[in-house]
Amino acid sequence: MRILIVNPNTTASMTVTIEAAARRVAGDSTVIEAVTSSMGPASIEGYYDEALAVPGLLKEISQGEREGADAAIIACFDDTGLDAARAMSSIPVIGICEAALATVSFIAQRFTVVTTTQRSRVPIEALVRRYGAEGRAKVRAADIPVLSLEDPLSGATEKLRAQMASALEEDGAEAIVLGCAGMADLAARLQDEFGVPVVDGVGAAVKQAEALVALGLSTSKRGAYAFPAPKVYTGLLAGFGIG
């Protein structure tokens, strides 16, 4: 089983973190292929970055599917481009936010998502509502730029810890969801420290992708995710091979 993980920002070092987290939890017969988008923002912080990340992301998923991937994962907690990718693909496509929320729902009644920037808080609250976790989940931002997670001197992890502590004390959280792909390497350590389940979306998405493939399930092609109708696509985006 080959699972493609696309880091939809263009920062290759973050892809390394993501790939390592994915491999730690992947099954023995699963091949993880992590790629960095070649087109778009260096990090995804808010609606604008989300939008600009989509074409590069779709290109990678389209190519990965042609090269034989059995499932694809979008490794950004905003689940950017998810619906478009599903409509375009025959293989299952998983977002790390939806995977994390589905996973934490099996082990906690109340939980808090801790993400990076305030720009991302409201979009993630919209995802919480979309995925039906409204009333169970709160979203907090640690006020840290995404890329600061890669800099041990930035204090980012300490700010993340502070929000986790507040989540437990003030939100009644029973578990924590890490709300950024760049936090994928921290889950196990923070789970040990805080003594509550800590869910990383990258790992969660790998297991959901494996599950769908093993169950013989893929995106329905009836209704909202039907293949795009044939039509002319103009400009630089035309090269995806579907239009």
Residues 11-40 that bind a copy of itself (CB under 8 A): 25, 27-29, 38-40
Q: Which of 22, 34, 35, 56 binds a copy of itself (CB under 8 A)?
A: 56
Find tokens 């995977």 and name the residue: 99
Distance of CA 26 to the CA centre of its chain: 16
Binding residues for a copy of itself, total number by CB under 8 A? 100
Q: How far is the CB of 139 from a copy of itself (least distance, A)?
A: 10
Could you say which residues in the range 179-238 bind a copy of itself, by CB under 8 A? Answer: 188, 191, 195-197, 199-200, 203-204, 207-208, 210-212, 214-220, 222-226, 228-229, 231-237
Binding pattern for the stretch 146-175 against a copy of itself, x by CB under 8 A and - elsewhere: ----------------------x---xxxx
Residue 54 binds to a copy of itself (criterion: CB under 8 A): yes
Q: Which residue of 134, 151, 158, 170 would you call a contact of a copy of itself, by CB under 8 A? A: 134
Return the residue matching tokens 């409204």.
134
For the CB of residue 157, give the shortest distance to a copy of itself in the complex, in Å: 19
CB 146 within 8 A of CB 180: yes
Q: How far apart are CA 190 and CA 210, in angstroms?
A: 25
DSSP per position, 72-123: EEE-STT-TTHHHHHHH-SS-EEEHHHHHHHHHTTT-SSEEEEES-HHHHHH
Pick one of 131, 178, 179, 182: the residue that binds a copy of itself (CB under 8 A): 131
Residue 152 CB neighbours (<10 A):
9
